[in-house]
Amino acid sequence: MILIIAFILGVALGAVRARRRGGNRADIVQYGLAHGVAALVLTAGVALIAALAGFSPG
């Protein structure tokens, strides 16, 4: 669930950045997907490291 949230927040951040830079629809989609994938990979990496270190969500 946290990975989906991270992806959605990344997409939103990327879309906002593209709009601020005056990008067209293709730029907004590209920035959104790039930021979404980056947030997804970063969150998955942190979760994996936390799991290997012995932290559990409960």
Residue ranges of domains in the chain: 2-51
Query: How would you classify residue 29: left for phi > 0, otherwise alpha for psi between -120 and 50, otherwise beta?
Result: alpha
1-58: pLDDT as tens digits? 999 999 999 999 999 999 999 999 999 999 999 999 999 999 999 999 999 999 877 6
Residues, the chain, total? Answer: 58
Distance CA 6, CA 44 (A): 9
Residues 6+ apart with CB under 8 A from 41: none
pTM of the model: 0.85
pLDDT of residue 53: 95
The pLDDT value recorded for residue 57 is: 72
pLDDT attached to residue 58: 67
